[in-house]
Amino acid sequence: MSNPVDGCGHAGQNRVGPVNWKRYRDSVIVLLALAVPFWVLRASMRDPRQISGPDKVIVRIATPLQLVAATLARGISSVWGDYIYLVDVKEDNTRLSSQNARLQERVRKLEGLEEENRRLHRLLDLKQSLKTEVVSAQVIGKNTNEFFRVARVTLDRDAPDVGPNLPVLSADGVVGTTLKTAGDTVDVRLVVDAGSSVDVVVQRTGARGFVRGTGDESKYSCSVQYVERTDEVEVGDLLVTSGVGRRFPKGIPVATVTQVVRRDFGIYQQVTATPTVDFSRVEEVLILTSVPGEDAKANRDAPGQVPSSTPKK
């Protein structure tokens, strides 16, 4: 059969528009999404003895799904809880690490202050035991050359009476003597310098000697001269100032004996010692501006004072 012809001479065609399945698909999905939970809830809430055939099918289908959903929910909840816990732990660790660093820094500062307080307390005890005029000073620099070492200190106060060749002490013992001054800065010749010498005695036996610096740049060492071969001196003996000449106060530690060589002939034995002061660590010193006993002698000889040996009239 031929197709009818329209008024314009064109053959007529039967056209059917495409069906919009997407709209129906979305509607079906929405209905199922609303209906399935409703029927599952309805079947779950009914008395099991009154459940009909379709409800039983729904319950049998829904039970495994509910179990899987509950398991997944618990797993997700556990993972999420662990994640939140780890985040909190990380924040706590960061905070505690920062707090620990601050506390360690504070402990170091407190330990430094405690050590400084201990040094100053020992220096104060030494100052009180000397019973003579002293000036405290702070070590600010050191210098080394071929002949002697010089430690440079700065005075804590103006002291015009600080001149050359004055004793310099620390809490550990004899440091040396003043060399030259410039304002509030004083150069100190250490006891280990080749040009330094101190009259000493062995504290244990009273044997006499003369400590002289070796000037060895590789180590701090002294030689003890004029120790008689018959004197008893052993390694470890402490050498202290003798007080002879009133240059150094009596009984101040100078060095510790490290080697003794007794010769079969001669008058003296060979003794080597190490200073009691660690010059690499000394920070505070005392400079004696008057020799021991000088103040008492000055008071006795002062005008208007009557000597103790002279009776009053």
pLDDT tens column, 75-121: 777 777 777 777 777 788 888 888 888 888 888 888 888 887 887 78
Least confident of 82-91, 181-190, 266-275: 82-91
Nearest to 236 by CA among 256, 209, 210, 252: 256
Listed ranges 47-56, 135-144, 200-209, 213-222; the one with the highest mean pLDDT: 200-209
pLDDT at 302: 39
- pLDDT tens, residue by residue, 187-242: 888 898 888 889 999 999 999 999 998 888 778 889 999 999 889 999 999 999 99
Per-residue pLDDT at 38: 60
- Tell me the C-alpha distance between 295 and 239, whole Å: 27
pLDDT for res 184: 83
- One-letter amino acid at 112 equals G
**Strand, helix or coil at 200?**
strand
> Which of 207, 204, 193 has its CA nearest to residue 277?
193
Query: What would the two tokens of residue 151 be?
Result: 């430690």
Q: 225 pairs with which residues across the strands?
A: 210
DSSP 56-113: HHHHHHHHHHHHHHHHHHHHHHHHHHHHHHHHHHHHHHHHHHHHHHHHHHHHHHHHHH
Res. 307 pLDDT band, cuts 50 70 90: very low
With beta carbons less than 8 A apart as the criterion, state whether 3 and 12 touch. Answer: yes
Query: How many angstroms separate the CA atoms of 292 and 244, rounded?
Result: 11
**Is residue 43 within 8 Å of 62, Cβ to Cβ?**
yes
